[in-house]
């Protein structure tokens, strides 16, 4: 729906003619945070947004970002009943560390005073921060493991944030299914944050309104992939529309069924899919010899991606075997992505050509953020 009246039924707010989607290949993410930085520079450098990482990458197993979001509730129960969860606080969302730059750089104390962060909220040593538990991972020695898990708003088909807002500030854009949060309608009640099981909405205490990932809609409108997708040097990303059956993304999600949503049990039908990590470092046997098995238990992946992930991992391993035997594998070709531009179907435009004054959101007078 493009701009429904305030009392419009929730079903209308969730309608869209098209749906943009993503794949993120967890086998290729190297945790470089280029996506995080691309997003931060574009969208969250305003007062009150310092703590926000609409795009974020943490290591799994771990508490994730926002901290412990997986156990904060939200989304829907199995029968579709709304299930409000907890709110995130400043520490959960990684704080906004302040540094003693003045002391270190400008007071002649460079040798005696060390650069150190303090919490923006307490002024004390931080107790938690973005990527605080990076690389701790899981598994028992010598078979420890971790993988990177990039996350953003999933622009869910059945978005509980849309259901939650009493002001209908959240809705799907008709032309691309991007879930946006209208800053004019938002009253800062944060019911959406309680409702989102991924905790992908952040409160701005300066504007007293909530904000979220906009999937770079001004770029998308002009055929340019979102910044996080385009900046990824790992070629982890594919982007496109779910009705584009020729796209590489569509083939991997729908035809080959090797891309899965995160936590499908939340009931929100996310539109960002993951290629599960299927080829972790090989495990040591008890006698110290190296086995052919990976280190990540399927049960760990099932917790993230649901019961189908075992089958997906089997399929991916079989496909890799084909390539090792010099047999063709469309799945492997699609995942490798030799041509960067094939990964973005309709969204191959160059951001240097972006006309920043002609987005639909600006031309229809609404302020979407």
Partner 1 sequence: MKISRVNASAATMLDPTAGVWNEVESQQFAMVPTPLKGNPAIKAISPFIERSTDHGTIRQLSAAGMHNGTEVALRLSWRCAKNSEIADLDQFVDGVAVMYPLAVASSAVTMGAKGAPVNAWYWKANTPTEGFDVVAEGYGSSERRPGADTELTCEAVHDGESWHVVLRRPLDKGNRYTQFNLGSGHKIAFGVWDGGNRERAGRKSFSGEFMLIDIEA
Place of tokens 């079903």: 11
- For partner 1, which residue of 16, 22, 49, 88 counts as binding (CB under 8 A)? 88
Check if the beta carbon of residue 200 is closer than 8 Å to that of residue 155.
no
Binding mask of the shown chain, residues 193 to 212, with x at each position contacting partner 1 by CB under 8 A: -xx------xx-x--x----
Q: Identify the CA nearest to 67 among candidates 117, 127, 118.
A: 127
Show Cβ contacts of residue 233 under 8 Å, excluding neighbours closer than 6 positions. 32, 34
The DSSP result for 213-268, as a single string, is --TTHHHHTTTB--HHHHH-TT--EEEEETT-TTSHHHIIIIIS---EES-GGGSS
Q: Per CB under 6 A, does 26 bind ligand SF4?
A: no
Report in angstroms how near the CB of residue 212 gets to ligand SF4 at its nearest: 5
Binding mask of the shown chain, residues 285 to 304, with x at each position contacting ligand SF4 by CB under 6 A: --------------------
In angstroms, how far apart are the furthest CA atoms of the chain?
68
- For ligand SF4, which residue of 153, 253, 313, 331 counts as binding (CB under 6 A)? 153
Size of the site for partner 1 (CB under 8 A): 34
Report in angstroms how near the CB of residue 267 gets to ligand SF4 at its nearest: 10
Report in angstroms how near the CB of residue 86 gets to partner 1 at its nearest: 8
Separation in Å, CA 356 to CA 66, 218, 227, 349, 360: 31, 7, 14, 14, 10
Q: How far apart are CA 116 and CA 351, in angstroms?
A: 36
Q: Per CB under 8 A, does 354 bind partner 1?
A: no
Report in angstroms how near the CB of residue 6 gets to partner 1 at its nearest: 5
Omega of the bond prior to 187 within 30 degrees of 0, cis? no
Token readout for 201 is 């909405």
Buried b (16+ CB within 10 A) or exposed e, 39-58: bbebbbeeebbbbbbbbbbb
Q: How far apart are CA 335 and CA 315, in angstroms?
A: 13
Q: Per CB under 8 A, does 165 bind partner 1?
A: yes
Q: Per CB under 6 A, does 344 bind ligand SF4?
A: no
Q: Which does 87 bind (CB under 5 to 8 A by kind): partner 1, ligand SF4, none?
A: partner 1
The 3-state DSSP class for residue 318 equals helix
Q: Per CB under 8 A, does 117 bind partner 1?
A: no
Nearer to partner 1, 32 or 86 (CB): 86
Q: Per CB under 6 A, does 34 bind ligand SF4?
A: yes
Token readout for 110 is 């460079």
- For ligand SF4, which residue of 22, 33, 56, 88 counts as binding (CB under 6 A)? 33
Neighbour tally for 7: CB within 10 Å: 6
Binding mask of the shown chain, residues 219 to 258, with x at each position contacting ligand SF4 by CB under 6 A: ------------xx-x-x----------------------
Q: How far apart are CA 241 and CA 22, in angstroms?
A: 9
Q: What residues line the site for ligand SF4 (CB under 6 A)?
A: 24, 29-35, 57, 148, 150, 153-156, 159-161, 179, 196, 198, 200-201, 212, 231-232, 234, 236, 268
Q: What residues line the site for partner 1 (CB under 8 A)?
A: 6-7, 9-10, 51, 81-84, 86-90, 93, 121, 160, 163-168, 187-191, 194-195, 202-203, 205, 208
């Amino acid at each position: 729906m493009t701009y429904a009246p305030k009392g419009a039924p929730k079903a209308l707010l969730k309608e869209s003619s098209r749906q943009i989607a993503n794949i993120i290949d967890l086998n290729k993410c190297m945790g470089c945070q280029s996506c995080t930085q691309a997003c931060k520079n574009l969208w969250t450098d305003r007062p009150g947004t310092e703590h926000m990482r609409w795009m974020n990458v943490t290591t799994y197993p771990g508490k994730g970002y926002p901290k412990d979001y997986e156990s904060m509730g939200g989304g829907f129960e199995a029968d579709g009943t709304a299930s409000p969860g907890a709110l995130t606080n400043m520490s959960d969302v990684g704080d906004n560390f302040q540094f003693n730059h003045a002391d270190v750089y400008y007071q002649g104390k460079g040798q005696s005073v060390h650069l150190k962060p303090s919490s923006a909220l307490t002024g004390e040593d931080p107790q938690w921060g973005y990527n605080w538990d990076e690389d701790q991972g899981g598994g028992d020695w010598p078979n420890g493991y971790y993988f990177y898990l990039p996350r953003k708003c999933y622009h869910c088909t059945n978005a509980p944030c849309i259901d939650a807002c009493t002001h209908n500030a959240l809705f799907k854009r008709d032309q691309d299914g991007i879930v946006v949060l209208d800053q004019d309608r938002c009253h800062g009640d944060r019911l959406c944050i309680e409702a989102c099981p991924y905790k992908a909405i952040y409160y701005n205490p300066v504007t007293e309104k909530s904000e979220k990932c906009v999937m770079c809609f001004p770029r998308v409108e002009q055929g340019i992939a979102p910044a996080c997708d385009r900046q990824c040097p790992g070629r982890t990303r594919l982007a496109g529309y779910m009705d584009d059956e020729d796209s590489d993304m569509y083939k991997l999600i729908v035809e080959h069924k090797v891309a899965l949503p995160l936590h499908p049990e939340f009931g929100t039908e996310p539109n960002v899919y993951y290629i599960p990590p299927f080829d972790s470092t090989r495990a040591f046997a008890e006698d110290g010899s190296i086995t052919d098995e990976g280190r990540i238990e399927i049960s760990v992946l099932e917790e993230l991606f649901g019961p189908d992930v075992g089958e997906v991992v089997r399929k991916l391993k079989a496909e890799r075997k084909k390539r090792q035997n010099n047999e063709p594998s469309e799945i492997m070709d699609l995942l490798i992505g030799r041509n960067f531009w094939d990964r973005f179907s309709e969204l191959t435009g160059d951001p240097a050509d972006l006309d920043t004054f002609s987005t639909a959101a600006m031309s229809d007078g609404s302020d979407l953020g």
